[in-house]
Structure formats: structure tokens, C-alpha cells
Chain A
Amino acid sequence: MTRQEVLRKKISSYVRKRPIARVALALLVLLYMVPLYWLVATSFRTGQDIASSPVAIFFDPTVDAYAKAFTPTVFRSVLNTLIISLSTMLLVLLIAVPAAFALARGKSKVVVLALAAVIIVQIIPPASAVIPLFSVLSSWGLAGSIGGLVLADATLFVPFAVLLLIPFFSAIPVEIEEAARIDGASMFTLLARVCAPVARNGIFSVAVFVFVLTWGELVYAISLLTDPKDYPMSALIANSVGNLGIQWDLLMALAVIGAIPILAVFLLAQKQLTEGLTAGAVK
């Protein structure tokens, strides 16, 4: 056994022998799996059913709520969310990939400045940044438009994407780049044909990340869009909470509809997401 395996066995046997770990696991199940179950379960119940007994493990399932939920407004909203998320993802990649490529190698003052700027920018809360953004975008004639929203969402995720991508570009062996340069590759070819393909796992992770995060973005969506017809699912659900209030079945159904695409992406890209989650933090 390798040392790593020996260590893991030690920690595992420690964890396994102590009942506290079992209890902790049970608590986690209670804390995370039960609420998720309730989310889905409630969406399959009728309003009266829920009112009479909010907590129920067994119930008569019905798709009433979903029938009520699948209105043209909701369809349109799902489409909006898809457009906004994909556009933002593409825009972010277009900006962040070259930037990470440039910053991956180099210790010049420019690099340090760029990194500092990219980090500082992430500190501003969207709820604060939207105050001047609204004014700036409207002065450019983009207020209320989806294009304006995509630009705003991109500002949220570009710095984050750059920071996440840099390690992937730094990890490319210098010899590969040198070989390409010897063969006469231009800088653009170096990026497009050599580095990007080698870093494609990282790029894919970041792309999925940005897509998932944009899908759920709320602040910019409700602030920068003026026509509710353009609302993505997050804004639609947020608005509905006030109106629906007691219609829990419908709200849960909407929430599930809003979450399904993420579930799909999640199932397809689970490995990449976990990689992406740890790439930035574990150095």
C-alpha cells in the first residue's frame, strides 16, 4: 500500500469506529436530503393537501401544480434563462481564456497589477454594483435589454473565471509551448491550437461553472430588465414568491422547473464541477 493509502485507512478507520461519524452522516442526510425530498414532494401535492399537513412522507401524488406551472410565460422564461446563461458563458470565456493565457506566465508588474485588479473587482457586492451599472447601461442605451444583462453578468464572473483558469494554463509544460514556437507558431496559434486544447478540462469546468452560476443569478436580472417577459427563471420565481405566497405547490413546482436544467448539467458534468470547486481554493 502506498503511504497515501495507509493514511487514508488510518483516518477512515478512526472515522468509521466512532459512532459520532455515523451520527454526523445521519444529520447530513437529514439536513440536505430531506429538504430536497420535501421540495420535490411538495410540488406533487395539491394545495389543500399541503395546508392540512405540511410535512408528509406519504401522500397522493398529483401533477396539478405542474399543469398550472407550464404556462407560456414559464416556457419563455426558461428560454430566456438559457439564452442569458449561454451568452454570458461564451462572453466570459472569450475574455477570460486569453487573459488567463497572458497571465499564466509572467511575473511582470503588469501581471501583478492585473491580478490585483481582478481580485479587487470581485469584492464588490452585486447589490451595490448594480446601482451605478443601471445608470451606466442606460446611458449606453442598454437598460432593460438582455444584452445589457449579459454584459453585467459577465462582469460578475470574468474575474472569477480568470483566476480559476490561470492554474490550468500555468500547468502546461513550457516545453510544449517552446516546441510550438520553434515550429513557427504565432502567438494566436499557440493559444488556440496548443494551450487551449491542453487546458480544455479547465476551460470546460469553468464554462460549466459560469453557466450554472448565471442560471441562478438574480440581482442583475430583476434590476436591469424592465419587461417581465424577459425575466429568467430566477427572477420569475422571486417575483412569484410574493404573489403566490400560500400556493406552495405551484411555487415548489416552479422552483423544481428552475432547478431541473441545473440538475441535468450537474449529472452530466459532476466530475468537472467538483474539480472546478477545488481548483481555486486548494493550491
Chain B
Amino acid sequence: MTPTKQITTLGHSGLKEPLGRRAGKTFNSTSLRRMSYLLPLAVFLTALSLYPSLQMLRMSVSDVGIANINGDWPLVGFENFVAIGTSAEFWLVAGNTLIYVGVVLVLSLVVGFAAALATYQSRRTTRVVLAAMILVWAIPPVVSASLWKFLLAKNGAVNQVLEAVGLGSGDVLWLSSPDLAIWSVALVTAWVSIPFCAVVLRASMLSLNPELFESSELDGARKWQAVWYITIPMLRPAFVTLTILVIMYAVKAYDIIFVLTSGGPGTASMTLPYLGYQTAFANFEFGLAAATAVAAGLLIGAVGFAYIRETSRSMK
């Protein structure tokens, strides 16, 4: 019986045995034929991802407005980048993006972990709570955002509850204060993102190897030490993956901001991608918008690099 592992690492799914001591890829017709099934993906992504991305780069160095969007785009070099680089608004929004992503990330991981611990046992109550959380994650973001727009209104539920328990005078301007807006938007986004982290962390916890705990018990470690000093480090791969996924999620977020504050007041609750979108579809300055998007992309690119390394490492 041919060893399964050997065939897989040698990278072909056909019957042909490698001749001699071949340890690299075997480019026989079978594996080529299998690779050909990548073609729909290749064509699709080239046409609808690669090409538009190249267009965006081209746009970022051109003067593109609503008048010439379908016509010629005169090149203007780095004019767009200089314009956004010297605008206070851009850097303000960049800072906001940092706050936004930071809040979403920290809350998602911390509350997600707490939720995973709290729902660890599979009892009726925990199952119902988990179901509610997953439902929140699954429903359209506009629905969640609409709900919180209602709850965070000036005389909305949240203010009323806070007033009732004596934590304020019941008139916090969650969504219309330039200082609070970005935090409120970040909190709602975290609310939607926590369930995902909770489910992933809970699943990871359920799959932990018991042997680690046995040795620690021999050393006389108490239960809580077991949880904190062993569980969390063992969950590291899940935490790393989640960190990258949540950062990406937060950067991409648009729906929630749009419904809650439309990025306002002014640009107080915008993130960089949102600013780019606004520049394009509200101000019709496609060139500037593309430059904003490219600049934002460079910042995000760093994270993506980490994701690739992590994923390719675990796929080997």
C-alpha cells in the first residue's frame, strides 16, 4: 500500500509513482489537468480584482472626476497623494481608524474569550446565549446598526438605562458628539464581532489536549492557574488568527458606520476606507479617492503580510 503522506507531499493525485528519489513536484499530465481547474478562479480574479486594482493605481495618479470617469484620465503624478498627505482631515481619520480598529480588536478578543469561558459548558442557558450571539453575527450589519441607532439615540434605551441606574443624566450624545462618535461606532462594531471570536475560541478550548493539564496537576497547580497559564497560551494560534481576521474586519467595516453616523459629525467617525468612499461617491473626486484608498491600503498591507505568513505556515 503506497504511503499516503508520501504521495501528498510529493504533490500529485495521480497514480504515477515517482521514479527514483524524486522529492519535488511531479509535473505529470494528471496534476496539470487538476491545476487547470484553477482557471475559472484565475480568470475571475484577474478580471474583477487584479484589473480593477490596477485601474485604482492608475486613478490615484490621475485627475478623475465625474466628467471624465468614462473618458480619458490625465496623469497628474503624485499630486493626489500630496493633497491628502497635507490634509489634516486625512491624518485625523487615520488616527480614528487606529482607535476604531484597536477598540474592536481588544473587545473582540477579551470579551470573546470571556464569553467562550462562560459558555464552555453545553447547558440549555449557554446554548441559547450562544445562539443569540451567533444570530447577531449572522444578521445583516444594517439591521444591527439600525437597532443601535435606536438604542443610542439621545432619549434612547441606553441613556434611559444609564439614568435609571444613576450613571449619568441620560443625555449622552453617543452618535452626534464629535468626541464620542468614533468610540460608539467602534463599540457597536465590536458587539457584532465578539460572537465570532467567542465561537472560535470556545471551539479551540474544546479541542485542547488534556495531557497538558495532567502534568500541571502533578506539579500541584491550582485549577485557576491551569486555566490562565495553560489555556491562554495554548489558544495562541487561535488568538493570532483572530487578531488578523478582526483587524481586517474592522478595516473593511462600512455598513455600521454608514447607518449609525454616516461618518459624522463631519468626519469624526470615519475610517480611512470610508473617507475614500466618501471622496469618490459624494464628492465625485475619483482620483483623490483612489489615492486615499491606496494610502490606506499600504497601511493595511502590513497586516495582510502577516496573515499570509501565518496561513502558509499552518498549511505546510
Query: Interface residues, chain A, CB within 8 Å of chain B?
Result: 3-4, 6-8, 10-16, 18, 21, 24-25, 28-29, 31-33, 35-36, 38-39, 42, 54-55, 94-96, 98-99, 101-103, 105-112, 114-136, 138-139, 151-152, 154-155, 158-159, 162-163, 173-175, 177-178, 181-182, 187, 191, 212, 215-219, 223, 233-234, 237-238, 241-242, 248, 251-252, 254-256, 258-259, 262-263, 266, 270, 273-274, 277-278, 281-283
Contacts and interface: CB of A to CB of B under 8 A. Distances in A.
B293 interface: yes
A17 to B, nearest CB: 9
Interface in B1-60: 4, 7-9, 11-15, 25, 27, 30-31, 33-38, 40-42, 44-45, 48-49, 51-53, 55-56, 59
B75 interface: no
A114 B42 CA distance: 8
Contacts of B38: 98-99, 102-103, 110, 114
B56 A11 contact: no
Given A114-B42, A158-B41, A174-B4, 5 more contacts: A35-B147, A99-B41, A118-B41, A131-B293, A218-B141
A135 B55 contact: yes
Q: Main secondary structure on chain A at its contact with chain B?
A: helix
Contact of B45 (A121, A134, A255): A121
B151 A114 contact: no
19 contacts: A6-B210, A12-B120, A33-B128, A110-B35, A115-B315, A122-B248, A125-B254, A129-B56, A133-B52, A135-B286, A187-B34, A216-B255, A223-B277, A233-B140, A237-B146, A241-B146, A255-B147, A258-B142, A273-B138
B15 A128 contact: no
Interface of B: 4, 7-9, 11-15, 25, 27, 30-31, 33-38, 40-42, 44-45, 48-49, 51-53, 55-56, 59, 69-70, 114-115, 117-121, 125-126, 128-129, 131-136, 138-143, 145-151, 153, 155-157, 160-161, 191, 195-196, 199-200, 203-208, 210-211, 213-214, 223-224, 226-227, 231, 237-238, 241-242, 245, 248, 251-252, 254-255, 258-259, 262, 273-274, 276-277, 280-281, 286, 289-290, 293, 296-297, 300-301, 303-304, 307-308, 311-312, 314-315
A136 B51 contact: yes
Given A35-B151, A114-B41, A135-B70, A237 B143 contact: yes
Contacts of A94: 40
B49 A155 contact: yes
Contacts of B53: 124, 129, 132
Contact of B34 (A105, A124, A128, A278): A105
A11 B227 contact: yes
Minimum-distance CB pairs A-B, first 7: A216-B140, A128-B293, A7-B210, A3-B210, A125-B273, A98-B37, A99-B41
Contacts of B25: 106-109
B142 A282 contact: no
Contacts of A278: 199-200, 203
Given A3-B211, A129-B52, A152-B48, A31 B191 contact: yes
A48 to B, nearest CB: 14
A141 to B, nearest CB: 11
Nearest to B137: A277
Contacts of A114: 38, 41-42
B210 A131 contact: no
Contact of B133 (A32, A128, A216): A32
B119 A262 contact: no
B252 A125 contact: yes
B292 to A, nearest CB: 8
Contacts of B146: 237, 241, 251-252, 254-255
Contacts of B200: 277-278, 281-282
A28 B237 CA distance: 25
Contacts, number: 346
A278 B214 CA distance: 26
A94 to B, nearest CB: 7
Main SS of chain B's interface residues?
helix
A124 B57 CA distance: 13
B133 A39 contact: no
Contacts of A127: 252, 254, 273-274, 276-277
B150 A248 contact: yes
Given A54-B156, A110-B38, A135-B70, A28 B129 contact: yes
A109 to B, nearest CB: 8
A256 B153 CA distance: 19
Contacts of A122: 248, 304
B11 A108 contact: yes
A270 B125 CA distance: 17
A277 B69 CA distance: 40
Nearest to A116: B308
A262 B227 contact: no
Contacts of B30: 181, 187
Contacts of A29: 129
B44 A102 contact: no
Contact of A130 (B199, B277, B304): B277
A281 B241 contact: yes
A132 B55 contact: yes
A258 to B, nearest CB: 5
